């Protein structure tokens, strides 16, 4: 489950911003022309390095946007406080909403590219990055995401312009499989979103389960825009699993509620990073805070960075979810 402390992981994300900054400055200084169109033979003749972002400001992943945006703004402030890039102060970031909608993400990328960004931070969702990666990288603009986990990106032909700082779900799948097996489960149903994130992590988990000798009772890939998920719940329940793993976003609360109502216990349920939220129990059952007691999950992350979290809190005191606790690609 994705923890409600949504600032977990932004320490590494800010490092990714630094990397994107370095990539932008290195590329422009070598070629005499930045990816965003700045010209000049050295730092003195170039425009200031400009960064943009395509991150969720609306939609069911909107809680992921503010921490990443504020982390990027904080990194920019640190860079500028230390002299900027090649002696020039970086302007404010130009941003766009991904909204968990491919069309909106694409429009946002067009706007950010049109503003002359030398590098783009995001998108947060793997599917949204896949919606914009070609137009970004083929424009010779760096793209760096702190949360893309779909295995697709490992071998994607990006011309060397795409980077991510989150591990592939090819790593999280075996961790999730091992967790369920160690808990004594041997007949497991998997439920996943019908997108790159859902399919990629489900497939990685299925392979790991089979390699370990566990039985995959059923796999259910659903349309996240479906009006209800009763058929998904019925299919999973009919397979008579002793555990159910869910690779979903916030709509997963409806699936979980249906599974519990069908007789699946909370300690038979396992989630992944897309579900990790302290608010999840309230979303599933507002009047029963203990409804998910016993549910477990996995999520990728970086190492502890309490100094960064403290500095970010000072930079953006109104940002919710600040915590020095860290996520890791282990059971949580």
At residue 321, the pLDDT reads 54
Q: 228-237: string of b/e by CB count within 10 Å (b at 16+)?
A: ebeebbeebb
Question: Quick one: pLDDT at residue 45?
Answer: 55
Q: Which domains does the chain have, with CATH numbers?
A: 10-167+303-331 (3.40.50.2300), 170-299 (3.40.50.2300)
Compute the distance between CA of residue 71 and CA of residue 10 in angstroms, rounded to an integer: 6
Residuewise pLDDT in 10s, the chain (332 residues): 333 333 333 444 444 444 333 333 333 333 333 444 443 334 445 789 999 999 999 988 888 899 999 999 999 999 999 999 999 999 999 999 999 999 999 999 999 999 999 999 999 999 999 999 999 999 999 999 999 999 999 999 999 999 999 999 999 999 999 999 999 999 999 999 999 899 999 999 999 999 999 999 999 999 998 999 999 999 999 999 999 999 999 899 999 999 999 999 999 999 999 898 888 999 999 999 899 999 999 988 777 889 998 999 999 998 875 443 333 333 33
Would you tell me the crossing angle of helices 126-137 and 196-211 to the nearest 10 degrees?
Answer: 120
Q: Which pLDDT value is given to residue 230?
A: 97
User: For residue 26, what pLDDT is reported?
Assistant: 37
| Distance (Å) of CA 70 to CA 75, 118, 316 | 8, 19, 7
Query: Global pTM?
Result: 0.75
CA–CA separation, 126 vs 155, rounded Å? 14
What is the rounded radius of gyration, in angstroms, for the C-alpha atoms of the chain? Answer: 21
Q: Using H for helix, E for strand and C for coil, what is the string for the chain?
A: CCCCCCCCCHHHHHHHHHHHHHHHHHHHHHHCECCCCCECCCHHHCCCCCEEEEECCCCCCHHHHHHHHHHHHHHHHHHHHCCCECCECCCCCEEEECCCCHHHHHHHHHHHHHCCCCEEEECCCHHHHHHHHHHHHCCCCEEEECCCCCHHHHHCCCCCCEEECCCCHHHHHHHHHHHHHHCCCCEEEEEEECCHHHHHHHHHHHHHHHHCCCEEEEEEEECCCCCCCHHHHHHHHHCCCCEEEEECCCCHHHHHHHHHHCCCCHHHEEECHHHCCCCHHHHHCCCCCCCCCCCEEEECCCCCCHHHHHHHHHHCCCCCCCCCCCCCEEEC
The closest alpha carbon to 85, from 54, 115, 40, belongs to 40
Please tell me the predicted confidence (pLDDT) of residue 232: 98
Say if residue 101 is preceded by a cis peptide, omega within 30 of 0: no
């Amino acid at each position: 489950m994705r923890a409600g402390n949504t600032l977990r992981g932004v320490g590494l994300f800010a490092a990714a911003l630094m990397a994107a900054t370095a990539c932008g400055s290195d590329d422009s200084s070598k070629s005499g022309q930045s990816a965003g169109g700045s010209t000049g033979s050295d730092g003195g003749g170039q425009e200031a390095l400009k960064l943009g972002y395509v991150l969720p400001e609306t939609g069911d992943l909107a809680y992921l946007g503010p921490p990443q945006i504020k982390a990027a703004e904080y990194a920019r402030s640190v860079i500028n406080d230390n002299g900027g890039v090649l002696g020039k102060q970086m302007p404010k970031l130009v941003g766009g909403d991904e909204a968990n909608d491919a069309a909106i993400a694409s429009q946002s990328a067009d706007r950010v590219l049109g503003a002359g960004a030398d590098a783009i931070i995001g998108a947060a969702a793997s599917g949204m990055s896949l919606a914009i990666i070609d137009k970004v990288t083929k424009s010779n603009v760096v793209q760096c995401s702190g949360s893309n986990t779909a295995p697709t990106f490992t071998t994607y032909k990006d011309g060397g312009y795409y980077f991510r700082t989150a591990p592939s779900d090819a790593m999280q799948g075996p961790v999730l499989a091992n967790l369920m097996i160690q808990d004594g489960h041997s007949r497991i149903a998997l439920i996943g979103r019908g997108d790159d994130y859902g399919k990629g992590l489900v497939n990685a988990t299925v392979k790991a389960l089979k390699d370990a000798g566990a039985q995959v009772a059923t796999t259910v890939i659903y349309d996240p825009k479906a009006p209800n998920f009763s058929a998904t719940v019925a299919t999973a329940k009919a397979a008579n699993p002793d555990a159910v793993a869910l690779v979903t976003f916030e709509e997963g609360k409806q699936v979980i509620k249906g599974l519990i109502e069908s007789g699946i216990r909370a300690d038979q349920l396992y989630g992944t990073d897309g579900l990790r939220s302290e608010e999840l129990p309230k979303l599933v059952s507002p009047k029963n805070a203990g409804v998910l007691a016993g549910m477990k999950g996995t999520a990728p992350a970086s190492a502890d960075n309490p100094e960064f979290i403290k500095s970010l809190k000072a930079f953006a005191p109104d940002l919710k979810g600040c915590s020095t606790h860290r996520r890791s690609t282990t059971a949580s």
